[in-house]
Amino acid sequence: MGHFHLPDTLLGDLTRIAGGSVKYWRQPLDKDRIRVPQGIIHVIEERCKGCGFCVEFCPRGVFIISTRANLKGYHPPEITDSSQCADCGLCALLCPDFAIYIESSEMSLHDNQKTE
């Protein structure tokens, strides 16, 4: 039995139809009450050897390879938009040089609501 294969251009076509970004047709019911956790990303540039795992595997695309080099001559990652960090910790887990760590922020309700 053969495998079903979608054309490589299908994702590009869908993105173009959606106006350059994919939009969800529904939202979580508690969207107005619960904040998505965010992390504070720290990169120890002198430990980095420029492997690019963080850039390649970040689900939110928070990192890019920097144009500047560290003292060892490697290009460490640069944080493009830290507000997009979902505090998943994948970058820190995958970093072979322990050059990335994340400070977790708390997921909480908005200040004006009381929890029971």
Write out pLDDT tens, residues 47-101: 999 999 999 999 999 999 999 999 999 999 999 998 889 899 999 999 999 999 9
Total structural domains within the chain: 1
At 43, give phi and psi (nearest 5°): -115, 120
Please report where in the chains the tokens 């795992």 appear, as a residue. Answer: 53
> Is the residue at 96 inside a domain?
yes
CA-to-CA dists, residue 82 to 12, 85, 86, angstroms: 26, 5, 9
Residue 40 lies in a domain: yes
End-to-end CA distance of the chain: 55
Question: How far apart, in whole angstroms, are the C-alpha atoms of residue 40 and residue 11?
Answer: 31
Give a yes or no: residue 75 inside a domain.
Answer: yes
Domain boundaries, position 86: 28-104
Higher-pLDDT residue of 106 and 72 is 72
